[in-house]
Amino acid sequence: DVKVTQSSRYLVKRTGEKVFLECVQDMDHENMFWYRQDPGLGLRLIYFSYDVKMKEKGDIPEGYSVSREKKERFSLILESASTNQTSMYLCASRALAGVHEQYFGPGTRLTVT
């Protein structure tokens, strides 16, 4: 059974803290993605990665960075958390070739106070 796991389901951080969100997939997928989900806005792409050490900006990269040191792991970093980054964060992975679905993790609900 395919699986994407995220390090935390719920996280509460203070403004200005550095925050790490971890995502691991066990499907040997090349592509990995980070989205944020907000009511009425759907999912918006923050960053994605085609391969180890490769990353590309999505639609809303400001205030975020990412790291992919191993194929199965994709980390999202909030360098200095702000209240407007309170959201649900979803990680996904996808095989490179063909028309394939993205597989999603359960999400991390981050609250920045």
Partner 1 sequence: GNSVTQMEGPVTLSEEAFLTINCTYTATGYPSLFWYVQYPGEGLQLLLKATKADDKGSNKGFEATYRKETTSFHLEKGSVQVSDSAVYFCALEGVQGAQKLVFGQGTRLTINP
| Span interacting with partner 1, options 14-22, 66-74, 76-84, 93-101, rule CB under 8 A | 93-101
Say if residues 15 and 112 touch (Cβ distance below 8 Å).
yes
Instruction: CB nearer to partner 1: give 12 or 41.
Output: 41
Burial of residue 96, with CB atoms counted within 10 A of its CB: 0-12 exposed, 13-18 middle, 19 or more buried: exposed
Residue 16 interacts with partner 1 (CB under 8 A): yes or no: no
Pick the binder of partner 1 from 58, 65, 67, 77 (CB under 8 A).
58
Residue 49's closest CA among 76, 88, 85, 78?
76
**Binding-site ranges for partner 1 (CB under 8 A):** 4, 31, 33, 40-45, 48, 56, 58, 90, 92, 94, 96, 99, 101-102, 104-107
